[in-house]
Amino acid sequence: MTNRSKILAAVAVAAAMGMTPSAFAQGLPDSMTWSAYDVGSAGYAEASAIADAFGKKYGTRIRIQPSGSSIGRLQPVLTKRAEIGFLATETFFATEGVHDFSERRWGPQDLRAIAGRPGAFGVFTAGDNGIKQLKDLKGKRVAFVAGNPSVNVKCEAFLSFAGLSRSDVEAVTFPTYGAAMSSVAQGLSDASCTTTTPSQVYELEQSPKGIRWLDVPPDDKEGWARLKAVAPFFQPLRETVGAGISEAKPANILAYRYPIMVVRADMDDNTAYAVIKALDETYGMYKDATKVMPRWKLDVAGTPSIDAPFHPGAIRYLKEKGIWTAEHQQWNDDRMARLTALRGAWAKTLVEGKGKSDEEFGKIWDAQRAMALKAL
């Protein structure tokens, strides 16, 4: 019997036993649920493209659950109603126990990354409104998103770069990320913060208004010091992909990881291994779905720095591919030590803060967190 005949026979046996190609050959679950940003966002589009590739190659059925809030995307993962979250900086906040995740019911979450592509983030305005620099946002309407610290802290970081704060602008809060991104085109805000490739920014670019991305000069040391005090995970980026952006017309904005494939720490190693392997093996099927999809190549998306430690199952595959280095392992060990220390500090806070008011609890957590980080 030829090798091909053996494979076909094995697949036939698997089918007779009710097993899908994915269950038989890849180790992926037969069906999965993924959470992602709103429909129309870059994260949703990329999750959809990858899910489609998984389905076509392995037969895995994937349902994508969109949400406009960071808690709405993360909670399904934590409660095991979703296996993977296509998340953004809420991953960092959740593992650190800060912003919305500093509340008594949250604290530092035990999350792991499978992979996450480098992404760009910037402040955009209409091209015809006269706003040309970040400092021009003073007194203007700036869009924020209800319940979404991932977006809001980034917007605040941009303001800090220019020496501004929320009190210096008219902060307009929208119920969803998609609504905030659409607000400039609709005349409901003067500026919004997002990645460079969602459908809403392309729609603005193609409208009579046009689009402008506000410059974040990489050599402005004072501006960057103010920005990093708010959002230490950002780096300078000369972006050439996005609405109104090209090689001929680049934008100096910010780099971070988005979307990140985030899972619980207790995901089985073999499942995490199967997911990243499938991500790698289907790369050719989804890489042309959007202009930034080539950044999902594992030698880029499967390396630190990222917002949570990498899952051991993912690391195993990255080692097999020759991507994971000793430097990467050291980064992961350090990130795990930080997460472990914060989770230990949270346990102490829960004991010390029992019966205390929310305000008192917050002060205890701030003190415990600071001590834990100082001891690292």
Confidence of residue 16 (pLDDT cuts 50, 70, 90): very low
- Cα-based torsion angle of the residue sequence 206, 207, 213, 214 in order, rounded to the nearest 10 degrees: 170
User: In terms of C-beta distances under 8 Å and separation of at least 24 residues, what long-range contacts does 197-202 make, across chains too?
Assistant: 197/42, 197/45, 197/241, 197/242, 197/243, 197/290, 197/291, 197/292, 198/40, 198/41, 198/42, 198/45, 199/40, 199/45, 200/40, 201/124, 201/242, 201/243, 201/244, 202/243
Sign of the alpha-carbon torsion through 303, 306, 309, 312: negative
pTM comes to: 0.79
pLDDT of residue 107: 97
pLDDT of residue 229: 86
Confidence of residue 25 (pLDDT cuts 50, 70, 90): low
* pLDDT, tens digit, 9 for 90 and up, residues 313-331: 999 999 999 999 999 999 9
